Amino acid sequence: MSAPIMPSVLLSRAAATVALVTAALAGTLVAPGLAQQASANPVSIRALKIAASKQGSPYRWGATGPYSFDCSGLTSYAFRKAGRRLPRTAAAQYYRTRHVSASARRPGDLVFFHHGGYVYHVGVYAGHNRIWHAPRTGTRVRLERIWTRHVWYGRVR
């Protein structure tokens, strides 16, 4: 026969469970898939966190931060602050990255939106089919679902 479990032990287990769940969920606000992607590049994860920290910054065409951004301005700013230099435009960033498949994408990878062979937008992959990006004039940096299948992924080396 096993020993009876004391109420204080049950309370301790419940408190530990709440603490673990809270810690796991806190990471999902920045990068919804971050908890399960321990193998992601540390530079890319830092860039992802930097991009997320710019939430609410206004979009301004040609802006590269630190207070306003366009799409490629946000990605180049985030990676520069994380220790990697990227070219200025979305298309040039695409050609500077190592291309990866959708099934191999990880938080911190770049997501390139394209029409045919023309890259017109970029954001930082946050996991669970979401990106941090500066969408367009009149909007602010935000976390948003990827809205099309016409995307390519690139990993900053």
Catalytic residues: 71, 121, 133
Other CB atoms within 10 A of residue 67 CB: 9
Strand order in the sheet with 98-100: 98-100, 151-155, 110-115, 118-127, 130-133, 142-145
Buried b (16+ CB within 10 A) or exposed e, 14-29: eeeeeeeeeeeeeeee
Distance, in Å, from the CA atom of 73 to the CA atom of 62, rounded to the nearest integer, reads 7
Paired with 143 in beta bridges are 132
DSSP string, 137-157: TT-B-EEEE---S-EEEEE--
Distance, in Å, from the CA atom of 15 to the CA atom of 77, rounded to the nearest integer, reads 40
